[in-house]
Amino acid sequence: MKFRYEKPWTIENAAVSEADEIRIAANGKVDQILLNQSGINPNAYSISLTAMKKAIAYARKGLRTLSKARELNHFDSLVARDIRKNLNLVLDYVELEYDSNKNPKLSNVLANFFGKSAYSRILDAVRPEYYPHELLDEEAEFMYARNSRQVDVTDIFSTYSNPLFPEAVKEFNEQINKAKQAALRFYKHNQVVDNLDSIKFVFSEPDMFCSYWQDALVRAIHLDPQRILAWLDDSRKIRFDNPSLDMIAIHETGHSLQEILSERTMPKGFHSRRQNNPLFIKGVGLEGVALATEHLWFNQILLNQLQNDYDKDQIKMLDFLLRTYIPKKAVQNAHDVLELREREVNGNTNNPERIKYESHKELAKITGVKRYEDIYVLDDPDFENTLYSLSYFFGEKTFLGIIERLKKQGIDDQRILSAILTGWWSDVEAQEEFITKLLIPSMK
């Protein structure tokens, strides 16, 4: 696999280089805390005060080390900004979640992760005057009309039973290769990479309901088979619609190429292996970039710049998917921050259920949807999962803004795509400056 733009970027200043190594240690310690929580570690669901203290110590050591850096060149100064943002986010997360001696305000933590007024923007997104109710209704009507002949894909592809439509299994399995070819056409057309031969494309388990990239070591993209629409025609033959699988392939391939390209060109602190970077710490730069690739791809489809055989209904389906994905996450996001806020204000109550009740009551008031008063209607994720989910919301807005500004400067899609895939940044403002002032001018 060869990338068109593989210029290596290295840190020259010794203090910045040392701080980059320290931030890897700080991120790694946060990841160890998460492993204990998730049950992967044998000491399942335990919180180590030692690990928490080490994460804080690493973060503070890294910030002290950065303070010694002098006379930095442009690249090193941007790296220093990114490290500083990364380490401060580690402190925010650990102190809010685990340090009983610290009580940072939730609104301040969210602002540090996602920008000014983040808390208000999360809630505003679900208010009736801003939430796209008409768009969601249009999508529901469109999909309802198509669903009358739909077949559950688990009747075709299942690890638990014999398929009801064995004659369709072969064609169903071919959809994964079609999705890979769609990704290859896009990234090759935009001169990012010459092939995807070293990346495996497989289906994830059908009951997982998710797609994901399995790091640069395994190099496997797992695509959700539930993304394929299967339906019966008039002769009762199974037909397939897979444009949404293609879109997810674009997204997950973006993750894969960002990781591989970053490891080839950027200092270690910008690599995206999980043990270096818990996902939520740099989620805006991870999911924002991947969502931006979907938009670039779909725009090129609309402009007939990419070979495709989508009919007008499939194009409409893709348009709905692209425009409703983030709004569909918005209600859960609003619920999560309202519950966190209620815990912050009334966390000493003797009735924990009261926190849930009050937050759901407020959500119903904000959205105008009485159903949300039911305390069981939405999930209760961990704080880090909330942060990661919010990365989609803020990441898409951030990187579509960056792309728009780059296009106004006359930068073409080819250079934009390679540029946003270079490095996994914590400070997206520093990233935009790197792209605009250093990376794109170096692209020959």
Query: What rounded mean pLDDT belongs to the chain?
Result: 90
pLDDT of residue 110: 95
Instruction: With a cut of 90, say whether residue 185 has pLDDT above it.
Output: yes
Which of 229, 244, 264 represents a domain boundary (last residue)?
Answer: 264
Provide CB contacts within 8 A for 368, sequence distance 6+.
Answer: 128
In this predicted structure, which of 23-27, 82-86, 235-239, 331-335 has the lowest mean pLDDT? Answer: 235-239
CA distance 40 to 50: 19
pLDDT of residue 256: 94
Which of 264, 298, 329 represents a domain boundary (last residue)?
Answer: 264
Residues 52-73 pLDDT 10s? 899 999 999 999 999 999 999 9
Which of 264, 285, 302 represents a domain boundary (last residue)?
Answer: 264
* 122, 171: one domain: no
CA distance 67 to 197: 44
* 83, 163: one domain: no
* 21, 54: one domain: yes
Q: Give domain status of residue 278, yes or no.
A: no
Extract the tokens encoding 433: 């400056």
**The dihedral of CA 398, 402, 408, 414: what is its sign?**
negative
50 phi and psi, to 5 degrees?
Answer: -65, -45
Residues 398-442 pLDDT 10s? 999 999 999 999 999 999 999 999 999 999 999 999 999 999 999
The residues with which 240 forms a beta bridge, in sequence order, are 230
Are 190 and 417 in contact by the 8 Å Cβ rule? The answer is yes
* 42, 109: one domain: yes
Could you report how far apart the first and last alpha carbons of the chain are, in Å?
19
Question: Could you give the angle at which helices 49-67 and 14-38 cross, rounded to 10 degrees?
Answer: 160
Residue type, 164: L
Q: Give domain status of residue 97, yes or no.
A: yes
Q: Give domain status of residue 312, yes or no.
A: no
Number of domains present in the structure of the chain:
2
CA distance readout (Å), 191 to 88, 150, 253, 295, 388:
36, 38, 14, 17, 30
The band of 151, judged by pLDDT with boundaries at 50, 70 and 90, is confident
Q: Give domain status of residue 289, yes or no.
A: no
Q: Give domain status of residue 161, yes or no.
A: yes
Provide CB contacts within 8 A for 210, sequence distance 6+.
Answer: 204, 224
Domain housing 60: 14-129+318-442
The residues with which 150 forms a beta bridge, in sequence order, are 231
Instruction: With a cut of 90, say whether residue 51 has pLDDT above it.
Output: no
* 330, 436: one domain: yes
Q: Give domain status of residue 382, yes or no.
A: yes
pLDDT above 90 coverage of the chain, percent = 68
Instruction: With a cut of 90, say whether residue 252 has pLDDT above it.
Output: yes
Residue whose C-alpha is closest to residue 30's, from 84, 97, 83: 97
Q: What does the H/E/C string look like for the chain?
A: CCECCCCCCCCCCHHHHHHHHHHHHHHHHHHHHHHHHHCCCCCCCCCCHHHHHHHHHHHHHHHHHHHCCCCCCHHHHHHHHHHHHHHHHHHHHHHHHCCCCCCCCHHHHHHHHHCCCHHHHHHHCCCCCCCCHHHHHHHHHHHHHHHCCEECHHHCCCCCCCCCCHHHHHHHHHHHHHHHHHHHHHHHHCCCECCCCCCEEEECCCCCCCCEEECCCCCEEEECHHHCEEEECCCCCEEEECHHHHHHHHHHHHHHHHHHHHHHHCCHHHCCCCCCCCHHHHHHHHHHHHHHHHHHHHHHHHCCCCCCCCCHHHHHHHHHHHHHHHHHHHHHHHHHHHHHHHHHHHCCCCCHHHHHHHHHHHHHHHHCCHHHHCCCCCCCCCHHHHHHHHHHHHHHHHHHHHHHHHHHCCCCHHHHHHHHCCCCCCCHHHHHHHHHHHHHHHCC
* 115, 164: one domain: no
CA distance 361 to 297: 40
* 111, 161: one domain: no
* 42, 108: one domain: yes
* 120, 165: one domain: no
* 125, 153: one domain: no
* 47, 82: one domain: yes
In this predicted structure, which of 85-89, 142-146, 184-188, 262-266 has the lowest mean pLDDT? Answer: 142-146
pLDDT above 70 coverage of the chain, percent = 93
Q: Give domain status of residue 276, yes or no.
A: no
Instruction: With a cut of 80, say whether residue 352 has pLDDT above it.
Output: no
pLDDT of residue 40: 54
Provide CB contacts within 8 A for 249, sequence distance 6+.
Answer: 179, 180, 182, 183, 201, 221, 223
* 326, 435: one domain: yes
Q: Give domain status of residue 430, yes or no.
A: yes
